[in-house]
Each structure stands twice: as structure tokens, then as C-alpha cells.
Amino acid sequence: MGTQADSEMANDDELALLQRVAKKDREAITTLYRIYHARLFKFVYRLTNSYTAADELVNDTMLVVWRNAADFRGESQVSTWIFGIAYRQAMRHVSRRRMRLWPRADPDELASVGNPDLETEDWIRRALDSLPAAQQLTMILVFYLGLSYTETARLTDCPVNTVKTRMFHARRKLREFLAESAGAQHEDRHETRHERRDG
């Protein structure tokens, strides 16, 4: 993982690009697009579960960045600002089409939540699906994007204490779900061994 100095350096570079975008520098927006495309695509795909929607939303997000770069005041990381735009674009899309919010996270990014032996994507997805939408989104923002509680609160427009509460309950529920899944798998294996012996 990068150091705080690396993160600050990257933010300074992106801030310089954003300032150029504010002056309608097309080369700067192209560079920002290349920096953010893959991460934005993964993020909005995990919110919408649609490749077509994700592709459209990434372009919509960067169009908003192009139009509103001059409004950025530097009160957060450039990445937080851009992902905040992507989040709001995705929420409008979900609301407009009445789609289900569908966050996703890679197993490695949730390693600290439960038993590493349970890190299969299917289980992680089912575990996340068991959470209320607000807790799902909080897990995605904190674990997948690596946002702080303060940044997550700003992005989702809620108090920091609410973010902390959601994380507390989400962690507890995920641990319970993964533990139950592990127990069920163990019982299945045990029964299979008995069936083989008895067969």
C-alpha cells in the first residue's frame, strides 16, 4: 500500500490537472480520464451490476468533472470529489430505472472482516447482499475505495457517527454470515464423508 506522502503527491498532481481542466484543457481531462476510468468503472459497476450502465456513468461523471472543475475548492481529495460525483450519478441512474443497489467487493478487500478461509467471491457477494443498502455502500466506500469515515460521511451526506454505526453493524453481520456459511460448509463435507462411508 502507498504511503501518506505518495497519496498527497498523487493528489497534488491530480489537483494540478483539475486546475487545467477548469481552464478547459482537453489534454488534462484526457489524462484524468485515463487515471480514473478503470477505478470508476469498477465502482459504478458494483453499484449497478450493469456493464452498459457503468460505461455510460463513467462518461457522465467525467463530463461533470469537465463542466464543474472550477467549483472544486480543495476541501477533500480530488479522488473523493470525483467518486462523489460518480456515486451521485449512479444513484440517479438506479432511482430513475428503479434498479436495485448492488455493491460488490473483492474478497481480498474484506479480508479483515472475517475468516480468510472464506474469501471466495460468491460468499462475499452473498454476505454483502445480506446487508441493508446503506451498510453495503459504506463497506464499499471504506474497504474498496479506502475512504476515511469523514470522507464517506461527506460523500453520502450523513454524520460521521452514522458511518461508524453502519460499519459496526455491517462488520458484525458479515462475521455472523461468514461464520454460519463456514459451519454449513463443514456440515456438508461431514455428511458427504458419511455418505461415502455408508455407500
Q: In whole angstroms, give the CA distance from residue 184 to residue 178.
A: 10
pTM: 0.64
Return the C-alpha cell found at 193. 464423508
pLDDT score recorded for residue 48: 81
Per-position pLDDT tens, the chain of length 199: 445 566 677 889 999 999 999 999 999 999 999 999 998 998 888 778 789 999 999 999 999 999 999 999 887 789 889 988 998 898 888 776 654 554 444 434 444 444 444 445 566 667 777 788 788 888 878 876 678 898 888 877 789 999 999 999 998 988 888 788 776 655 555 554 555 555 5
Q: Are 54 and 48 contacting, i.e. CB atoms less than 8 angstroms apart?
A: yes
In this structure, the answer to whether residues 111 and 88 fall within a common structural domain is no
The 10 Å CB-count burial string (b at 16+, else e) for 97-129 is eeeebbbbbebebbeebbeeebbeeebbbebbe
Residue that is last in its domain, among 82, 102, 122? 102
- Cβ atoms of 79 and 65 within 8 Å: the answer is no
Give the pLDDT score at 57.
95
Q: Which of 62, 80, 102 is the last residue of a domain?
A: 102
Indicate if 93 and 122 belong to the same structural domain: no
Tell me the residue range of the domain where 193 lies: 105-199
Q: Is residue 77 domain-shared with residue 91, that is, in the same domain?
A: yes
pLDDT at 189: 52
Report the C-alpha gap between 60 and 50 in whole angstroms.
15
Query: Are 143 and 84 within one domain?
Result: no
126 shares a domain with 111: yes
Split into its structural domains, the chain has a count of 2
How far CA 127 is from CA of 116, 140, 152, 154, in Å, comes to 14, 13, 21, 26
Residue (of 86, 58, 74, 91) closest to 15 by Cα position = 74
Asked if 76 and 173 sit in the same domain, the reply is no
What DSSP character marks residue 24? T
Same structural domain, 80 and 166:
no
Give me the pLDDT at residue 195, please.
52
Structural element, H or E, at residue 102: none
CATH of the domain at 67: 1.10.1740.10
Same domain, 53 and 10: yes
Residues 6 and 76 in one domain: yes
> Do residues 181 and 85 both lie within one domain?
no
- Greatest pairwise CA separation for the chain in angstroms: 76
Domain boundary among 67, 102, 137: 102
Quick check: helix, strand or coil at residue 75? Answer: coil
**What pLDDT is recorded for position 9?**
77
Task: Say if residue 5 is in the same domain as residue 86.
Answer: yes
